Amino acid sequence: MQFSTDHKWKQAVLRRDDYTCQVPNCGAQTNLDAHHIQTRRQRPDLRRVLSNGVTLCRGHHNYFHDRNDEWQRFLAILAQARSLSRFYCAGIEVPRQDQVEH
């Protein structure tokens, strides 16, 4: 599903993910960002496609921007969870929300 504006895309991503950071053991429901899985630079055609977004708290958003290897590992686990029709994935070792800076 593609949306006509960035705002509508963001709201749809947050709603789909139940307004919860998708990083396991985080569960933050405040200071949330809709993050592009494939960057806008890499895939401008996916900029407003729902499946190209994931909800992250601000701390995890910043954490992944600085750690591409961790981001790729998270994406693999997220893809597996979503293939099972789950939008919250478990079992990845990343810092809890209270261990990352906001």
Q: Does residue 1 belong to any structural domain of this protein?
A: no
Confidence band for 102, pLDDT divided at 50, 70 and 90:
very low
Q: Does residue 62 belong to any structural domain of this protein?
A: yes
Domain of 66, in residue numbers: 6-93
Could you give the number of structural domains in the chain?
Answer: 1
Q: Does residue 102 belong to any structural domain of this protein?
A: no
pTM: 0.80
Amino acid sitting at position 77: I
pLDDT in tens, 76-93: 888 887 787 655 544 444
Q: How many angstroms separate the Cα of 102 from the Cα of each of 16, 56, 61?
A: 23, 11, 9
Q: Does residue 99 belong to any structural domain of this protein?
A: no
pLDDT in tens, 18-63: 999 998 878 899 999 999 999 999 999 999 999 999 999 999 999 9
pLDDT at residue 101 above 60? no
Q: Does residue 101 belong to any structural domain of this protein?
A: no
